[in-house]
Structure 1
């Protein structure tokens, strides 16, 4: 994905999902270039982005990466995130060799069952103050 006028792509994720929150924390820790910003689907900024791309923020089955007018979802979004983190995480892009018709059903199964498999927080995850400038 292209970089959006210096502000960077926005990852919209489920802050109540334990897996999704862990991934958001991972991105904040390993994004040394400070490329990505985060928005939870539970806050207004994230909900607006979901609606903009035709996704119901009350019942999403994907995280999205928004960069200007472009949006990635499902396995493409995950692979773009890891590619954007640089080495060694960038090696995950090798999974692009797996056709999307195989990757996406696996992704969607995990997404649909994320609370059952990984659990759900009672309250949304809140990032530490030192990352406040990267969370919308």
Structure 2
């Protein structure tokens, strides 16, 4: 599958074929998910960006998704994107064993999986708390987060 040509505002930090998980940088539950992902993704297959960051906003805009109210994680790869539970399951598929086994849950009916996801997502701040988004999990690890103007080497 050919990756679509990236617009100039994305090509300074995103390369065709990159896998990116966008998450709510102010959500404590999302921070837990990202900490899990960082531990499980030892080969750094998945890059990270918050939906609040300039990079996240540019990707959301390019994908035609709302930039002002994002209540879902977004997984982007090879010109395709997934939302909610599908994004989580798609990201799990990139991980090594035994974590990859969790991706088998994608065979749950989509309505059920997204229903559970939406119920948790709409109550995530109340249930898990909210932070100011200034300290991100794994931000000290080189090459984990997208950064404008810095072309990553691969």
TM bin, normalised by shorter chain, reads 0.7 to 0.9
- Answer with 1 or 2: which has the greater Rg: 2
Shift of 1:57: 2.8
Ranges in structure 2 where 5+ consecutive residues have no aligned partner: 4-13, 147-154
4+ residue runs over 4 A deviation: 2-7
Cα–Cα, structure 1 residues 7 and 29, in superposed 2: closer, same or farther, change >3 Å? farther
Q: Separation in 2 of the partners of 1:98 and 1:51? A: 30
Q: Secondary structure at the residue paired with 2:48?
A: strand
Q: Separation in 2 of the partners of 1:5 and 1:135? A: 13
Where in structure 2 are the equivalents of 1:72-87 lying within 5 Å? Answer: 72-87=82-97
- Computed over aligned residues only, the root mean square deviation of the Cα atoms, in angstroms, reads 2.2
Cα–Cα, structure 1 residues 125 and 22, in superposed 2: closer, same or farther, change >3 Å? farther
Q: Secondary structure at the residue paired with 1:84?
A: coil
Q: Secondary structure at the residue paired with 1:12?
A: strand
- Map of 1:68 onto structure 2: 78
Ranges in structure 1 where 5+ consecutive residues have no aligned partner: none
Residue of structure 1 aligned with 2:111, choices 101, 105, 110: 101
Q: Is the 8 A contact 1:16 1:125 kept in 2?
A: no
Alignment coverage as a number of residue pairs: 134
Residue of structure 2 aligned with 1:38, choices 40, 48, 59: 48
Q: Secondary structure at the residue paired with 2:82?
A: strand
Q: Separation in 2 of the partners of 1:31 and 1:123? A: 22
TM-score, length basis structure 1: 0.87
